[in-house]
Amino acid sequence: MTDPFILDFHVYYDDTDAGGVVYYANYLKFAERARTAWLRSLGLRSSQLRADHRVLIVVKAATIDYIRPAVLDDLLTLQTRATKMGGSSMHLAQDVYRGPDLVCTMAIVLVCVDAETFRPARWPDAVRGVIAP
Amino acid sequence: MTDPFILDFHVYYDDTDAGGVVYYANYLKFAERARTAWLRSLGLRSSQLRADHRVLIVVKAATIDYIRPAVLDDLLTLQTRATKMGGSSMHLAQDVYRGPDLVCTMAIVLVCVDAETFRPARWPDAVRGVIAP
Amino acid sequence: MTDPFILDFHVYYDDTDAGGVVYYANYLKFAERARTAWLRSLGLRSSQLRADHRVLIVVKAATIDYIRPAVLDDLLTLQTRATKMGGSSMHLAQDVYRGPDLVCTMAIVLVCVDAETFRPARWPDAVRGVIAP
Amino acid sequence: MTDPFILDFHVYYDDTDAGGVVYYANYLKFAERARTAWLRSLGLRSSQLRADHRVLIVVKAATIDYIRPAVLDDLLTLQTRATKMGGSSMHLAQDVYRGPDLVCTMAIVLVCVDAETFRPARWPDAVRGVIAP
């Protein structure tokens, strides 16, 4: 298993809500940013996958477990790794930590689809070659 | 089983992303708005639960299945209903439709917690009396 | 001067931040929603303006004065009215109230642009006919 | 005049809308993040200003001029600098660039207020000592 991709980020006001904590939907926002940064670090970009291979990556399902709240100014670490790779699907584990403490865990299912028909398509070799669960 | 609570709403620009569809995290935003409107329709408010009963309602877990995309100006319908009620937990099914078509399904687990200690607390009778799975 | 267009809405968790108040950028979100609802009430839609007249409406400038904060569960009223109409521009006043109290005022400048070239274009008669500053 | 504070950042999906560009309200989100990072770089934090000096920094007014759109994956640069310092107010210029091209300009007025009464308060020396317009 390869090392997870690490994204460190601070919690800003727009991430929080009046409960004083990170708004629960925003963990999916963090997760999408981490996936984009991860793909970018592997030399992959949505725009280039679309132009070169006529495919899009879409989120099929997401499961989130909220363990403890994060608050304003927290420095969080998001660990992203592929846990399973199918012909046109990919399962990711994306876990958020504050120091040693687990804040939340996310299991994300991505699907590679044809950019025109939106039907499942096989991952391009450009993707398959760089992602090893 | 009681009827689901219905919330109709339009998709606005700020709900969408450059993919031309509703940004995937925003379904949790819709779900939270529907829960708040649902509780309000039952005479319940977070602020009052906190003041009268010293409890908060927090989201423990969320599972989302994305079936088809929604786009700008779509009129969506969100159906919310309790599927299970525990001593301090509640399971909800929150499904988004565009006309007859299912857009996405969400399974949400809420927990009632003490407003000071954040430990699980029994649902106040004010909640238990009006929500029947 | 015609009556302003009125949009009433509640403040939800995702509108607020850890300061306990509505996050300052979200007033522009409310303003955009009010403009869309206003145009819809006049029989106008972005998608139709683009398809029928090959134009887009873009925001050129925005000025916001924050008078008093709004908080969770507040019921706010947003008044929208055109204050000036040019060949390809339109000035709006969009004011947010909580009951009789002014929460914030926004002055917005819109421009009608060609959907291909993004150069200023004259307002279609469909727009000019229904908006009277 | 001191050098502006520079924040570089990428445009992510959640920053954009179905028009394919950065949603117009999100420039205020970028601006707030830049101000927080700028204050942090000067050794200042909201939480510490509140605890040590019983003051809050609030936004009194914002003016935004939209020059050209930014799109997904753009690398943007936000330049922040104080342009005027009053007894309890501060004027900032916050400009967004994509390479040499100006994307948008923001003029922001901040006010230092008493954390209890919300009345204007003099800037603590901790702030005055490190910010020179």
Asked if D23 has any chain A CB less than 8 Å from its own CB, the reply is: no
What is the percent of chain C where pLDDT is above 90?
87
ipTM of the shown complex? 0.95
8 Å CB contact of B17 and D16? yes
Q: Is C73 a catalytic residue?
A: no
Of D29, D60, D61, the CB nearest to C25: D29
The per-residue pLDDT for A133 is: 82
Say which of C3, C8, C15, C17 is annotated catalytic: C17
Asked if B26 has any chain A CB less than 8 Å from its own CB, the reply is: yes
The per-residue pLDDT for C124 is: 95
Mean of the pLDDT values across residues A31-53? Answer: 93
Euclidean distance between CA atoms D96 and D105, whole angstroms: 6
Confidence class for position C1, pLDDT limits 50, 70, 90:
low
What is the percent of chain A where pLDDT is above 70?
99
Give pTM, 2 decimals: 0.95
Which of C99, C115, C111, C96 has the alpha carbon at shortest distance from C48?
C115
Question: pLDDT averaged over chain B?
Answer: 95
Which contacts qualify for A82-87: CB closer than 8 Å, 24 or more apart? A82/A2, A82/A131, A82/A132, A82/A133, A83/A107, A83/A133, A84/A133, A85/A123, A85/A128, A85/A131, A85/A132, A85/A133, A87/A120, A87/A122, A87/A123
8 Å CB contact of B71 and D21? no
Question: pLDDT averaged over chain C?
Answer: 95
What pLDDT digit, counting tens, does each position of A86-100 carry?
Answer: 999 999 999 999 999
Assigned token pair, A28: 């999916």
Euclidean distance between CA atoms C111 and B30, whole angstroms: 31
Residue A1 has pLDDT above 70, yes or no: no
- Residue D54 near residue B56, CB atoms below 8 Å: no
Collapsed DSSP state (helix, strand, coil) of residue B49: helix
Cross-strand partners of D12: none
What pLDDT digit, counting tens, does each position of D59-102 carry?
Answer: 999 999 999 999 999 999 999 999 999 999 999 999 999 999 99
What pLDDT digit, counting tens, does each position of D3-43 carry?
Answer: 899 999 999 999 999 989 999 999 999 999 999 999 999 99
Asked if C16 has any chain A CB less than 8 Å from its own CB, the reply is: yes
